[in-house]
Amino acid sequence: GTQAIQQQQPPIAVNSNPSNMIHMNPTQDSTTSMGSVAVPPVVAPAAQDTGSGDAPDSNEISGDTASSSSSNSKTKKGSFMEWFIDSTTEETEGSNETCAGVEDRLRLLLCKSMSKFMRKYKIRRIIDGNCEFTHNFVPVMIANFARDYWGFKYICISQDKSVFDKIRAAGLLKESESVLFLEGMWWKPVDLKDNVGIDMYFMYDVLAHASYGRVWSFFSAGKQSG
């Protein structure tokens, strides 16, 4: 008969030292042959501080690089960054003296009341229907709010162009990025074409002398203006 020959497999060597055992990478491809050995990654030793102080920090930016970056960045006129830079560099001494120099008692009371209300509700856009009365005490208040609130705008509105001529002649309230003279009817909707609503209307001694129809139109228009 045919004699079966049994092949004897070579003995498997077992390493008794655990420190010399090689752990297979669990993420190794299943197609890798059993005979191959995954080589563990080599970790570079941490750099030692020599104490010489010659090696610059990687996070440091040289003066030339910083100056070139600042020179290349242009601040858009009227932007938030322009306002922020101006507000941090302007002289703030006496900034709380919003109503300083107002001698008339009624105007002083109105100035303080307006400032308190506008601070409380963070008013950034206000329409004044009687700038002929307020123009002599609001300039300092406008300057302070324009410094503290980006995009602040004080809008004087009147259907009579001669009112603006008188205000300009007085030289106290001047047109600027924060002050706008708007010729129009205060009881009509105001649209400045910038999709920004009106936060506050100041109509001192105006509504009391207007007809009921204009007063009704004013409140309706104010609702439409946001």
pLDDT along the chain (226 residues), means of 10: 50 50 46 47 53 49 45 57 61 58 90 92 94 93 91 94 95 94 93 85 94 94 78
pLDDT at 84: 60
pLDDT at 5: 47
User: Is the pTM value of this prediction over 0.75?
Assistant: no
What pLDDT score does 83 carry?
57
pLDDT of 22: 43
CB 126 within 8 A of CB 156: no
pLDDT at 42: 53
With tokens 């920004």, the residue in question is 196
pLDDT value of residue 213: 95
Query: In this predicted structure, what is the pLDDT of residue 188?
Result: 93
Q: Please state the φ and ψ torsions of residue 29, each to the nearest 5 degrees.
A: -65, 140
Partnered with residue 125 across adjacent β-strands are 153
Phi and psi at residue 187, in whole multiples of 5°? -90, 5
- Quote the strand ranges of the chain, DSSP E: 125-128, 153-158, 179-183, 200-202
Distance of CA 193 to the CA centre of its chain: 21
pLDDT of residue 226: 62
Q: Helix, strand, coil shares of the chain as percentages rounded to 5?
A: 35, 10, 55
> Which has the closest alpha carbon to 166: 124, 203, 133?
133
Q: How far apart are CA 45 and CA 42, in angstroms?
A: 9
What tokens appear for 66 in the block?
Answer: 């910083």
* CB contact at 8 A, 164 and 158: yes
